[in-house]
Structure 1
Amino acid sequence: MNNFNAQTIMPTKKMTKIRWFYIAFPLLLLFTVSMMDKANINILLANKPFLQDLGIDGNLVKGTLSSIFLVTYAFGQLAWGFIIDKIGAQRSGLIGISLWAFAMVLGGIADSISMILWSRALLGIGEGVLYPMALKLTSNWFPYNEQAKAQTTWYSGNAFGPVLGLPLIAIIASAYGWRESYFILAAISIVCLILFWIMARDNPAKHYAVNQTEFNYIQSNQKVEVTITGNKGSIKTVLISPLFWILTIVYSCFSIGYYGISTFLPSYLTEEKGIDFVNSAVINAGGFALAIVVQMVTGYFSDRFMKRAVFVGGAGALIIVFMLLSLFTTNSTVAAILSILLIGLLFMPAALTMTMLHRVASPEVMGSISGIFGCLSYLIAALGPMIVGIFSQMSGSYNGGFIAILCFIALSLFLSVFLVRKGF
């Protein structure tokens, strides 16, 4: 940002809001489409033609398909974090989006489990660019008092994606075939690639539409009053901070919960609650629609009261309650309602935990730090689907797997209480 060229700035006095339309909006689109791409496998795992064509049988195999994505997603974030700090967020994003669009094409032409595994692995590498890129752009473009609203805005794409994608994928797979769902998602990803190339820039100093007033506003409000880790511009200083590791564990536990539950929820509703294939997708979409509302409301109030950990801990407690009630109800309607409430809360803690990460790392190292943060978190999150798969097979029902997952949510709840006491 120090290379700011005043000649590129529109001389109007009224502040532009480029940061919201040109940065938050394309990020929202990217997260929406990326979630549709990654969630494609979740709904197809309840699609009999897909399972029969590829010879997929057993929950352990299903969990592996989800976990292989999370492993490459984790290492992708680590690599992309350092790449982004070196070549910039926009250029890195263009490369990553291209990779994941190709991965969807590969999935559409797959004729074996191994090809689907390769597709999922490449998708993880490509989509690994998203969080380091988004956090870097958020650090560069948004003052601290707007960062929760900004992050919950683009993070809501993770809920918009399933709302739009799950019914769409189910309808396309039922009417035309599962391969067509891959090809359509690949085309949508390419459209998003073009929009991101046109709209986004690494920082306000490089953008063609931002004016001097907005630039000054962003610059003057990026300093945080309370410095948590001293020299936040040093990677080493951040990594030796206990608070960084607590945030990593909290995020990891919620990620285990999200991926462990969301991977099997359509199959769980279909197999154990007697809800048909398309309706299970609609229920999941309803939960993600609720998640959008929850995200935006908590983003607004957490910026207003600056108490992000309170909302994170509260979500953890409610997730445990709703999951337990869902497991032990025999009424399919009640199970559907509880599933919607559960999904509505599963998303929110992650965005606010990432917002708290801005208090321990500066914009200069945010790409690298978020890459490390994401790599560690998603390597741990990769255990989620496998834990559900293993424990559900051992217990003979999904109950065993989901109860095992709740232990991690309980740990995140405990650590959230500690963060509240530290002023987060």
Structure 2
Amino acid sequence: MAVEHDPDVNAVGGRRTRHHRRAWLVVALLCLFMLINFADKVVVGLAGVDLIRDLGIDSQQFGVVQSSFFWLFACGSIVGGVLMGRVPARWLLAGAAALWVVSLLPIIWSASFGVLIAARLLLGFAEGPAAAMATSAVHSWFPADKRAVPTSIVTAGAGIGPLIAAPVLTAVIVNYSWHAAFAVLAVVGSLWVGAWLLLGREGPESADATARRDDDPADHVPVRVLLRTSTIIGILVLFFVSYCNVALKVSWMPMYLREGLGYDATAVGRLSTLPYLGTAVFLVLAGVASRMMTKRGVSNRLARGVFPIALVFLSGLSTIAFASMDRGPLQMVLIVLGASLASGGWGVAFTAVSDVVPPRRRGTVMGIIVAVYSVGGVIAPLALGGLVNGAPTPGAGYSSGFTMLGVLLVVGALIALPLLNPDRDRKALAAYVRGETSKSEVDVEDRARLK
């Protein structure tokens, strides 16, 4: 992203203290950004039963509604990745959040299936680059060895959002209507836009700022070479299966609790918060644990590769287990673990991107990563909707769907394990920059790793 100079950062007196305070203020604002981002996603799931009744649609059509959010998600991710190198973060993030608000407005008054699809398409396009934008912005305020914790805190906003939104929006839906829930989110989004325009911007570790201090030749490595490194391939696999998990948690979990397990609307409003609470907790704990591992000299291969992969693997096992169990406290614990462990390593694994990709290329590469893994958000809700619609009972459909998800998480973790190695790939790219390894040799090395 282009940089706007902050006088606090450049001031001589008290520069370090003011920089530190501004950095953590930006972290808080970006955490709130991700909070609103996921609250906007989850509201349709919370209103699902009433929405299906009012629109006269079935479970498969509801799956189409949930899937439609992701149809333009990849396009938005790529457009956002390109703009991140050209538009200041202050304006780019504010513009994205403003589009979220615009997408919510028609649903406040309309009860049309077509309008709902169109609104979710716009929201998905505008939210596509959100994670990449927030990650790039927070990385601009912290050096590489100190990014794991703030990145995890920002990403934790995705878990905190539904945690706060689920009971609040459920109360609004029960006491007023599902239209009113969209109105509440539009107001909150508008307030965030104003706060970010007033207080938000990028820091001294941004791509343009580091380029002015040191024109690093690594910044000129072609994106296609970066995308062929085994670490980026491993991250793509890991994020794809993890995002299938996220998409089902957002789009179908409230419906699963109500239709599949038989909880009432009030109980669903409470229980729906638990997976997001778990996600927020595991995100922060994972960031702290990764940071402690790094400080103790543990390699990035373990701290930012094997560690998040292990969390995804355990998430898969938990998902397989709860899909075959009857309703009860133990099942709810496994639902929370299955939904949150995979997301827990998200911030840590995203940090591995910055270990490999030079600053000037991060926006583009992160946008491509988001575009690829967002395909999981298109496929997973549609697949589960089809299974539920075709099963003899909703419970049987949900059980089959979540079992398949668990297997996918386990297989994805096993595929990513030999691939995700930031230390190795950073050395390979450094050799490429020095001219010691030609492009073709890098490709050969990557193919050898994949074998």
Q: TM-score range by the shorter chain?
A: 0.7 to 0.9
Q: Distance in 2 between matches of 1:40 and 1:2?
A: 34
Q: Distance in 2 between matches of 1:110 and 1:3?
A: 40
- Tell me, yes or no, if the aligned pair for 1:26 and 1:200 is still in contact at 8 Å: yes
The 5-angstrom pairing of residues 1-150 of structure 1 reads 8-12=10-14, 15-16=17-18, 17-45=20-48, 47-48=49-50, 50-58=51-59, 60-150=60-150
- Tell me, yes or no, if the aligned pair for 1:233 and 1:364 is still in contact at 8 Å: no
Q: Which residue of 2 aligns with 1:387?
A: 383
Cα deviation, residue 350, structure 1: 2.3
Say if 1:259 and 1:130 are closer, same or farther in 2 by CA, change over 3 A: same
Cα deviation, residue 230, structure 1: 6.0
1:320 to 2:316 alignment = yes
Q: Distance in 2 between matches of 1:110 and 1:180?
A: 11
Return the TM-score normalized by structure 2: 0.83
The 3-state SS of whatever aligns with 2:57 is: coil
Q: Which residue of 2 aligns with 1:280?
A: 268
Structure 1 runs, 4 residues or longer, greater than 4 Å off: 1-8, 229-233, 419-424
Q: Distance in 2 between matches of 1:119 and 1:4?
A: 36
Q: Which residue of 1 aligns with 2:448?
A: none
Q: Distance in 1 between matches of 2:26 and 2:104?
A: 25
Say if 1:142 and 1:181 are closer, same or farther in 2 by CA, change over 3 A: same
Q: Which residue of 1 aligns with 2:358?
A: 362
Query: Identity of paired residues, percent?
Result: 18
Q: Distance in 2 between matches of 1:313 and 1:346?
A: 8
Q: Distance in 2 between matches of 1:321 and 1:176?
A: 39
User: In structure 1, what residue type is equivalent to 2:388?
Assistant: S
Q: Which residue of 2 aligns with 1:291?
A: 279
Q: Distance in 2 between matches of 1:88 and 1:260?
A: 33
User: In structure 2, what residue type is equivalent to 1:259?
Assistant: A
- Tell me, yes or no, if the aligned pair for 1:100 and 1:123 is still in contact at 8 Å: yes
Q: Distance in 1 between matches of 2:6 and 2:250?
A: 47
The 5-angstrom pairing of residues 233-312 of structure 1 reads 234-306=222-294, 307-312=303-308
- Tell me, yes or no, if the aligned pair for 2:317 and 2:338 is still in contact at 8 Å: no
Q: Distance in 2 between matches of 1:395 and 1:353?
A: 36
The 5-angstrom pairing of residues 368-407 of structure 1 reads 368-396=364-392, 397-407=397-407
Say if 1:272 and 1:239 are closer, same or farther in 2 by CA, change over 3 A: closer
- Tell me, yes or no, if the aligned pair for 1:250 and 1:416 is still in contact at 8 Å: yes
Return the TM-score normalized by structure 1: 0.88
The aligned length equals: 405
Say if 1:19 and 1:408 are closer, same or farther in 2 by CA, change over 3 A: farther
Cα deviation, residue 423, structure 1: 5.3
Q: Which residue of 2 aligns with 1:209?
A: none
User: In structure 1, what residue type is equivalent to 2:56?
Assistant: G
The 5-angstrom pairing of residues 178-197 of structure 1 reads 178-197=178-197
- Tell me, yes or no, if the aligned pair for 1:31 and 1:157 is still in contact at 8 Å: yes
Q: Which residue of 1 aligns with 2:432?
A: none
The 3-state SS of whatever aligns with 1:51 is: helix
Q: Distance in 2 between matches of 1:119 and 1:107?
A: 7
Q: Which residue of 2 aligns with 1:214?
A: none
User: In structure 2, what residue type is equivalent to 1:42?
Assistant: G
> Per-residue CA shift, 1:286-336, capped at 9, x if unaligned?
221122221111101112214122322222232122222212222433332
Q: Distance in 2 between matches of 1:233 and 1:4?
A: 27
The 3-state SS of whatever aligns with 1:86 is: coil
Cα deviation, residue 103, structure 1: 0.7
Say if 1:422 and 1:127 are closer, same or farther in 2 by CA, change over 3 A: closer
Q: Distance in 2 between matches of 1:243 and 1:353?
A: 10
- Tell me, yes or no, if the aligned pair for 1:248 and 1:376 is still in contact at 8 Å: yes
Q: Which runs of 5+ in 1 are unaligned?
A: 207-217
- Tell me, yes or no, if the aligned pair for 2:242 and 2:409 is still in contact at 8 Å: yes
Cα deviation, residue 2, structure 1: 9.6
Cα deviation, residue 421, structure 1: 6.3
> Per-residue CA shift, 1:368-422, capped at 9, x if unaligned?
1111111111023321111212233344421111122223202221034214666
- Tell me, yes or no, if the aligned pair for 1:387 and 1:404 is still in contact at 8 Å: no
Q: Distance in 2 between matches of 1:188 and 1:5?
A: 27
Q: Distance in 2 between matches of 1:129 and 1:420?
A: 23
Say if 1:86 and 1:158 are closer, same or farther in 2 by CA, change over 3 A: same
Say if 1:139 and 1:310 are closer, same or farther in 2 by CA, change over 3 A: same
User: In structure 1, what residue type is equivalent to 2:62?
Assistant: K
User: In structure 2, what residue type is equivalent to 1:161?
Assistant: G
User: In structure 1, what residue type is equivalent to 2:41?
Assistant: K
